[in-house]
Amino acid sequence: MKKPLQKSDPAEVVVLERCHIVESGDNRNAALSIKFESGDPDLYLQAFTESDCKSWIAALREANSEGLQKKILHLQQLIMEMKESEPADCLAREATQAGPILIPKLPHVEFSLACRELAAPARERKPNAVVQVAVINTQEQSLTAYSNTEIVEGTRDPLFLTGVTFPPEYAICEETRVKLTVYDVKDKSQETRSFLGCTTFSVGDLLKSKDQQLTLSLRTSDGTNTVGTVVVSHLKMGEIEDGEVDQIAADAQGQKYTLVCEAASHGTANDKDNNPLMNAVFKNPVCKVYRFQTVDSKWMFVREQMAECTLSFNIPKQLITLYIQEDMRRIQELKDLGDLSSHWDNLRKEVINHYGQMISSYQETLTELNKLTGSSFKPSCSKAEKYLEFIPINLHTQRMRVSCPRKTDAAYDVITVGAPAAHFQGFKNGGLQRLLSRFEAEKKNFSTAYQCIYYSPENTAKAKEVLTNIGLLQPLISSLADQLLQASQQHSSELLKEALKTLSDKTEQFVHALKDELVKNALLALYTARPSYVNKRHSTVCNNVDGNESPSKENCPHPLKRQDSIPHHSEYDEEEWDRVWVNVAKSLNCIIAMVDRLEEHENNNQETATDPKLADVITSHTSWDWQEQLYPLVVTLKDCVTEVVDRAKKSMTFVLLQEAACSIHQGLVLKQRRDVVFSQALAALACGFVMRLYAGLEDKGFLQQLHLVGLIAQFESLLSTYSEEIGMLEDMEVGISDLQRVTFKITEAKSEDPNDLQPIVSGRRDYYTVEVPLPREVFDVLPNEIKEGKPLQVYPVLFNVGINQQQTLAERFGDISLQERINQKNFEILDGYYKSLSEKVPLQYLPCFQTQSDLKELLETLQQNILTKKRKNVEILWLAGTICRRLNGVRFTSCKSAKDRTSMSVTLEQCALLRDEHELNKDYFIRALDCMRREGCRIENVQKNIKCRKYAFNMLQLMAFPKCYRPPEGTYGKVDS
């Protein structure tokens, strides 16, 4: 308030708090009143005009504390709406720039809940309590359901093991209000429940309260009656003192608890889970927190975090692009074969036509995938969609981090993914394993019908290998030859020797790769397919025979060992091919001899240059002299290599033409099916490799194991060996086995931009490399072998045990030999990996576990269980998983959709780890299992997939399940999955 003079000092200050501005004038006067809720006298103000009065009323209403608070809440609401479209760091930056009105988000906010003295719903029954947590939108006066606790039965003082977590991605601040509603659950299966009471609090009240703990009264809906209290305890992340640990005690009889639960050293754990490197590949995390009691009455803090992976779509899209490029190269190679007889030319046209159809189909799929944005996973309900068939089903990462008093934090990872299988193509005729076996058996008959030459799978694989080697070595030899000329131009003996050594090694490798009878005999077969070829004996191309008829010795001086179907002709000079590739070796020898001569000349010049009488005579070899001497020899080497490549490429292409022509339609359909299954499997493997690498970047023992031996990737499958799931398992077996063709390389990323941290796939169907970029500061501290690009091997193993009602039928009335064969075969791979690891890496580099079982003993027990004829022997899966973790490996768990049976397996494994490694109290094992299955990450996974919080089981199915794989009552039912 001021005096009438415009420049006068303030005479009085009015605090506009808890007040209302009302118009109080009449027809003659324009006035307003400020009425205070505190009971202070009203303040009467008069304006000159009515319009002035109204503008003052509006200004004063906006200036009071309630008006400012509404502005703050409105701006907070805008932030919450923007959080889906803007990164968290943008919001934080804007909040800082805007000043105190925009309140920045808080980091992880987590709290636990307990109730005391709840009102009994009936005299004869104590409540079965559950707490529903909701966030209040004060601006819109609405509630958003956020999470629930588990149900604690038959007590008025329930302690809830499931906590509440607001991760950094969630827009929460100190003014955010949370509503807690307590219900009494009468029937879990029918989800019938009655309201007991509710209360609200702000996050700021919790954080600023004494001991960061609130005790709130629960009131009925009309607010008149108190029905108990709820205790909210902030879960603090940090070191705890021994005295504080002792406070975390429980009176199990009286259900009275001191509600303080602290996590040892959890701040650094949060940083690892949410650093930029992790956030570049893993998206949309879902967090859950729990507290469980240990055997010594202490409390452990457990956090589950489930996330999607960008590689679900990224890897398949790269693979499809590589498939298209490879098939287009194959078409060009077929065209480059030159003139063929009409029979072979027609077959070539037909094969090219089918390749073109595949390319068109793949391009269409890639176009559709590039249109997709948003979610980074394929839900189970989309598993049979055509344009999504290359995408893995429901691929997620799951990490359980455990903090116990006075112990180091521990983390356990698992990748969950639907079984890699061709769901769109279906399983009417079985899966890949059966289809490929049948195809190889029938290929001989096809070759007769098409008048083709039958090549065994080994020879076909060899032809692909030769083509791969040619593609890699020819440009490399050409580049090394140019380096040799550059060294000669510089007149440097050292550079010349170094360049020559590398060139010699690669050229010898090239010659060795082509020194194969298959190439020689395929050239003869191609010769007989030329239009100019005249078969004087009028013999037809014969099919593979079992040695009953063999050509004469004069026409077949060098028959193949595995087949005698290659045509031979006396007019064809079989030694011509030997002369061609021998010319490569001769050219190299000439270069070596010339380099030796040049060096000898150089040495002689240096010795005689000291004699002044000879100074005028000596003409030292200048740099152009060296290059002039070597240039024609290098050109000759390149020409010889080019001639060899041209002939070898055509001969191997002809081999593959005959393979495709033997069964054009069926063979290419199988190829497409294998592409689909491999794409799903590789996306899952890349996800697991990246997660394991990120977790082990500071573990020198793991990094040494990685480059010396490689990484074990253990796939756990819960598919049955009955009906359609047999086909899925047959697909999965081949897809996992094909992962042996994959190696990984670690590279330095161009920048820390998320796009530059995405893995890159290169190669062709016979051999793929996945490059994983790391930021410079991370890359620089890696072992030299890894930084130099050493290929990192992966050893995939698959173990399967069916657990559902279909497996019961298979075990009693069907056939489980597929499962037995898979388990035995993959045990041998696992055992071989352990032996190799034992020879190359000290076993003390492996992780330490509380249970000190010897790895060798675990492997022997696993083998015994595999050989034992026992129904639904899930101990095979438990042992395989334990061995994998002891070997620093990557764990994968799969069923049909990675949603229901997978959830039961993952939660069981997590609780078993808490029991075996962190001394979980045995009385809490079932409760912990129920918590994770009822309100943990896995039920959120179900919700994401089918928009329903129900596992797809019915009571009849669950009767066939092992007991430890059955979900809690009320969490399952008939749903579309």
- Catalytic residue list: 895
Q: How far is CA 258 from the centre of its chain?
A: 40
* Tokens read off for 554: 């004069």
- Three-state secondary structure readout of 376-391: CCECHHHCCCHHHCCC
Query: 691 and 413 in contact (C-beta within 8 Å)?
Result: yes
Nearest to 848 by CA among 886, 882, 883, 881: 886
Q: Is the dihedral of CA 145, 149, 154, 159 positive or negative?
A: negative
Exposed/middle/buried for residue 720 (C-beta within 10 Å: 0-12, 13-18, 19+): buried
Half-sphere exposure of 43 (CA within 13 A, CB side): 17
Distance in angstroms (rounded) separating the CA atoms of residues 455 and 563: 8
Helix (H, G, I), strand (E, B) or coil at 535: coil
Residues 6+ apart with CB under 8 A from 502: 480, 483
Helix (H, G, I), strand (E, B) or coil at 768: strand
Distance in angstroms (rounded) separating the CA atoms of residues 278 and 445: 53
The separation between the first and the last C-alpha atoms of the chain, rounded to the nearest angstrom, is 70
- Three-state secondary structure readout of 255-279: CEECCCCCECCHHHHHHHHCCHHHH
Q: How far is CA 843 from the centre of its chain?
A: 28
- Which pairs with CB-CB distance under 8 Å and at least 24 residues apart come from 561-566? 562/456, 562/458, 562/459, 563/454, 563/455, 563/456, 563/459, 565/447, 565/453, 565/454, 565/541, 566/453, 566/521, 566/522, 566/524, 566/525
Nearest to 702 by CA among 844, 496, 562: 844
* Tokens read off for 504: 């010699």
State the residue for tokens 């194959």: 330
Q: How far is CA 221 from the centre of its chain?
A: 47
* Tokens read off for 100: 């105190």
Q: Is the dihedral of CA 693, 698, 701, 704 positive or negative?
A: positive
DSSP 2-47: B-SSTTPPB------SSEEEEE---SS-EEEEEEETT-PPPEEEEE
> Which H or E run contains 872?
none
Instruction: Give the CA radius of gyration of the chain.
Output: 37
* Tokens read off for 743: 């190696």
Query: 347 and 661 in contact (C-beta within 8 Å)?
Result: yes
Query: 261 and 294 in contact (C-beta within 8 Å)?
Result: no
Residues 6+ apart with CB under 8 A from 169: 83, 88, 285
Distance in angstroms (rounded) separating the CA atoms of residues 379 and 780: 38
Cα angle value 131/135/141 (rounded, 5°): 120
Query: 273 and 267 in contact (C-beta within 8 Å)?
Result: no
User: Backbone dihedral region of 888: left (phi > 0), alpha (psi from -120 to 50 degrees) or beta?
Assistant: left
Cα angle value 568/574/577 (rounded, 5°): 135
Distance in angstroms (rounded) separating the CA atoms of residues 550 and 556: 9
